[in-house]
Amino acid sequence: MIMEDKIHSEVLYDKINQLNKQAWELRVNDSLQAHTLSKEAIDLAENINYIRGKAEGYRTFAFSLIRLAKYHEALEYCEKSFPLFESLNDLDGQSSIYGYYGIINRSLGNYAASLEYLFKFLELSQQTGNREAESLSCYHLGITYKYLGDYETALTYLLKGMSTTQPEFTTYSMSKGLSLKQIGAIYFETGDLTNALDYYHQSLILTKKTGDKWGEAGCLDSIGVIHLKLSEHDKALEFCSLALTISQSVGDKKGQSNALFHLGDIYKELAEYNKALKHGADSLAMRRDIEDKKGQAEILLFLADLRSKKSFSEQPDPQVFELLNEALQSGQEIKSLDLLAKIHLSYYEACKHSNNYREALTHIERYISLSKEIHTDALNQKIQNLEISHKVEKSRKDAEIYRVRNVELANLYEESKRQKEEIQITLVELKATQSQLIQSEKMASLGELTAGIAHEIKNPLNFVNNFSELNKELLIELNEEIEKGNIEDVKAIARNVIDNEEKINHHGKRADAIVKGMLQHSQASTGQKELTNINKLADEYLRLAYHGIRAKNKDFNATLKSDFEESIDKINIIPQDIGRVLLNLYNNAFYATNERKKQNGNDYEPTVTVSTSRSRSIGEGRGEVIIKVADNGNGIPQEIIDKIFQPFFTTKPPGQGTGLGLSLSYDIIKAHGGELKAETKEGSFSEFQFSLPVLEST
């Protein structure tokens, strides 16, 4: 009898382990099936109190609940799972639960807790050497920082996550695909729809490859929204419809409601109001089903607006007020100020249309009051976000960065206390505009570098492809000569193959070096100085900037000249920051010569020159390296020469420049202890010169 019980228990253990294994492997591609299998494993494991079976079952079940947007339920199962993994001393299990805690808290709006748990996820994954988990932790840190509006830190972690894992891991493509999608979202939020579309398409390829239907649907829906923004309605309908179909196939109700809402928005733009109403109503039903209160209010407001547009009578459709009233109740229930403001504005429009001016006045006054409250809350949220970032990064930054962050935070607090309500609103708008412009400037630089690097990498890849094809032909010929017994010819062909392989290896390493350089350039500055070959850096960025502008304007050509003092040794600088300065100066030079080319035609040859030299005359054992960037463009008018380093000052037409490039460059050089200045002659040339101090022994 004892033997029979033991055998029965072992059979149950095996069955539970198998169920948990299948559920874990299916958690991404088929979350609903993973939900079912893990629940079966939990029931069996609880009956025999099998600790390992319960721990793993709870973990996978929590993941499936997160996928279904049931965050509070997911939290309960995480809390059941974590102590069991602790009792088993299973660090990988604990690590994954920390990750789920981070996701759940982010979804519930608790970003400070999200970062705290995600950094624990990162630390444990690094401790255990689990590269897949480390990659995912970086990915989720990137998302949370994106929610905080810290796009630069978000990009740093997303790129780190992409470079941490390796292609041999099963989740490599999934992790990379998710990161590419988030980078696309950052581009979208900064208004760069072209790059956003590119990254979403890259993500779509990888999500298809891994079978991640949830991720695939999300990419398709996002691509559809971009095409709607571009007024490409046919493409928008195609992608959002595909997203809806896939979301339906995997039971993703949140994805379905989003796709239906966006399809309704497309039909609204096309003035097909009946279709828009149907899709909006279907989305509303779905959001009610998943108890998405905010989503319900958004759809109700959307439907009310549609009813207003659909009505051609003097009086608005009575259903407009019914929908607005329900939306108002939902908005008040969840205390969403931004939604309430929009609802009161729609009420104002509807009341004005029905000549109920007294009621219209009430709603417009409420709208104005809420708008002021929103602006005040936005300032408080920005302060809170600064506190969150400061708290989390405190243990990861050196003492100087602590000091700067604390000073910035203290100043922001003092400023907020002194300001009245109107000044607070103005300050929030100004901060938001500056942040967007600086991010746009950085994104533009990254895009130009990428275009230049794409051109640079093309040559070595062509060599690799060509020599590979040639070796294929030689090997076929080698086999033929072996068959004929022509040993000398065989040896000659073999030598050719070896020579070609060496060339393939050489150009492969060259391509690898370019890719590593690209990753280095795309990463945010670490703030750490490194010994750097300034001649090589100046030459590299000159070529990348030139290829970048050529990628945007195929007709543009320029003569590039360089005069580097070879005796200059490596100097101690922050290479990413000095690279950004060089890129700004080169881009301005190419812009100036291109503008003059448009005026003078073929009689003019655009020329950009870069030179380096060393001076040994600034005392106390110190010298300086001087870098000059000159162009033969139209020059800068004397009346504005004193303004060019001011933030937001630009001579370029609206939409072609932020006016931050030279201002940021000036600050970077000043932070390095150097000086940036300009010499110019209107109608003839411009020359920018900056100095970098170095020790005489360097």
30-44, 57-71, 81-95, 137-151, range with the lowest pLDDT: 137-151
Residue 337 has pLDDT above 80, yes or no: no
Residue 313 has pLDDT above 50, yes or no: no
Cα dihedral 589, 592, 595, 596 sign: negative
Cα dihedral 12, 16, 17, 19 sign: positive
Distance between CA atoms of 97 and 516, rounded to whole angstroms? Answer: 33
Confidence of residue 297 (pLDDT cuts 50, 70, 90): confident
Residue 516 has pLDDT above 70, yes or no: no
| DSSP output for 1-58 | -HHHHHHHHHHHHHHHHHHHHHHHHHTTT-HHHHHHHHHHHHHHHHHHT-HHHHHHHH
Q: What is the pLDDT of residue 690?
A: 93
Confidence of residue 402 (pLDDT cuts 50, 70, 90): very low
Strands 622-631, 685-695: pairing kind: antiparallel
pLDDT tens per residue, range 215-255:
889 899 999 999 999 999 999 999 999 999 999 988 888 88
Average the pLDDT over 5-21 and give the result. Answer: 80
Average the pLDDT over 638-664 and give the result. Answer: 71
pLDDT tens per residue, range 425-472:
555 554 544 554 454 555 555 555 554 555 556 666 776 777 677 777
Helix then strand then coil, % of the chain, to nearest 5: 75, 5, 20
2-16, 567-581, 607-621, range with the lowest pLDDT: 2-16
Q: What is the pLDDT of residue 654?
A: 54
Q: What is the pLDDT of residue 146?
A: 80
Q: What is the pLDDT of residue 441?
A: 52
Distance between CA atoms of 266 and 241, rounded to whole angstroms? Answer: 11
Exposure pattern of 542-555 as b/e (b: 16+ CB <10 Å)?
Answer: bbbbbbbbbeeeee
**Under a CB-based contact definition with an 8 Å cutoff, are residues 71 and 104 in contact?**
yes
Q: What is the pLDDT of residue 498?
A: 82
Distance between CA atoms of 142 and 183, rounded to whole angstroms? Answer: 9
| DSSP output for 386-436 | HHHHHHHHGGGS-HHHHHHHHHHHHHHHHHHHH--HHHHHHHHHHHHHHHH
Average the pLDDT over 520-525 and give the result. Answer: 48
Average the pLDDT over 573-584 and give the result. Answer: 87
Average the pLDDT over 187-191 and give the result. Answer: 81
Q: What is the pLDDT of residue 619?
A: 54
Residue 275 has pLDDT above 50, yes or no: yes
Residue 651 has pLDDT above 60, yes or no: yes
Q: What is the pLDDT of residue 400?
A: 40
CB atoms closer than 10 angstroms to residue 657: 19
Distance between CA atoms of 254 and 415, rounded to whole angstroms? Answer: 41
Q: What is the pLDDT of residue 396?
A: 45
Paired tokens of 285:
């039903």
181-195, 309-323, 340-354, range with the lowest pLDDT: 309-323
Q: What is the pLDDT of residue 421?
A: 52
**Under a CB-based contact definition with an 8 Å cutoff, are residues 33 and 54 in contact?**
no
Q: Of the ranges 40-54, 591-605, 640-654, which is most confident?
A: 40-54
Q: What whole-number percentage of the chain has pLDDT above 90? A: 23
Residue 499 has pLDDT above 80, yes or no: no
* Average pLDDT along the chain: 78
pLDDT tens per residue, range 372-391:
776 665 555 555 555 555 55
Residue 522 has pLDDT above 50, yes or no: no
**Under a CB-based contact definition with an 8 Å cutoff, are residues 237 and 263 in contact?**
yes
Q: What is the pLDDT of residue 485?
A: 79
**Under a CB-based contact definition with an 8 Å cutoff, are residues 142 and 182 in contact?**
yes
CB atoms closer than 10 angstroms to residue 148: 23
Distance between CA atoms of 601 and 377, rounded to whole angstroms? Answer: 55
Residue with tokens 């139209």: 634
Residues in the chain, how many? 698
Cα dihedral 185→186→189→194 (10° resolution):
-70
Cα dihedral 640, 646, 649, 655 sign: positive
Q: What is the pLDDT of residue 157?
A: 85
**Under a CB-based contact definition with an 8 Å cutoff, are residues 218 and 180 in contact?**
no
Average the pLDDT over 671-694 and give the result. Answer: 89
Distance between CA atoms of 214 and 210, rounded to whole angstroms? Answer: 11
pTM value > 0.85: no
Residue 160 has pLDDT above 80, yes or no: yes
Assign 516 to helix, strand or coil.
Answer: helix
Residue 638 has pLDDT above 70, yes or no: yes
Residue 140 has pLDDT above 80, yes or no: yes
568 burial (CB, 10 Å; 0-12 / 13-18 / 19+) is middle
